[in-house]
Amino acid sequence: MKINNLGETDGLPPVEWAPIADKLATGSMPEAGAANSRSIWLTTLNADGSPHVTPVGAVYVDGAFWFQTGATRKGRNVARDDRCALSLSVAGADVTIEGRAVRVTGREELGPVVQAWVDQGWPAEVDETGTGITAPFNAPAQGPAPWNVYRIEATSAVVGVTAEPGGLVRFQF
């Protein structure tokens, strides 16, 4: 892993990845009343190269973020161009993960991810074919099930520490 301390010229200390990864794995979110304490934002690329940003119900499983989508703009975008970024806040830091969205199929591969959504209260399950997921409800814009599931294969992350003394680092994986 390559580390670039973006705050060095401002005298900010380097940020370590391990505590951030632990917060992602344990779901260590900001305080419930904090701004954007529950929002995860996914950025995909429109056909003209402009960004498309939308909130998603992503989960962090086995060291990676996962999201699902149907017949939406983000679904069309990642099918055409898999580059994406995902941004969220964890306790004490803002995190942006950059990478590629890789579609995942198969009961064995999707099982742990579906369980993470179930644990959060969304009764998802792998569909009969094993190529996507289904649930009794989803965001209306998703279209009919089954919905495709994507794992973000991270290439880099930018972490900004929000508590004193602060810090801003880019990690390249």
What is the model's pLDDT at position 28?
83
- Average pLDDT over every residue of 22-50: 83
Task: Check whether 36 has a pLDDT greater than 70.
Answer: no
Cβ contact 57:117 at 8 Å: yes
Percent of the chain whose predicted confidence (pLDDT) is above 90: 82
Instruction: Read off the DSSP letter of residue 38.
Output: T
- Ordered domains of the chain (ranges, CATH): 2-65+73-105+150-172 (2.30.110.10)
Task: Check whether 98 has a pLDDT greater than 90.
Answer: yes
What is the model's pLDDT at position 124?
97
Predicted structure pTM score: 0.91
- Tokens 């701004």 found at: 35
Task: Check whether 134 has a pLDDT greater than 70.
Answer: yes
Q: For the chain, how many residues are written?
A: 173
Task: Check whether 31 has a pLDDT greater than 80.
Answer: no
Compute the distance between CA of residue 77 and CA of residue 37 in angstroms, rounded to an integer.
26
Tokens of 105: 């199929």
Q: 140: pLDDT confidence band, cut at 50, 70 and 90?
A: confident
Compute the distance between CA of residue 68 and CA of residue 57 in angstroms, rounded to an integer.
8
What is the model's pLDDT at position 163?
81
| Spacing of C-alpha 146 from chain mean position | 20
Tokens of 147: 């919905």
Compute the distance between CA of residue 124 and CA of residue 53 in angstroms, rounded to an integer.
24
- Average pLDDT over every residue of 151-158: 98
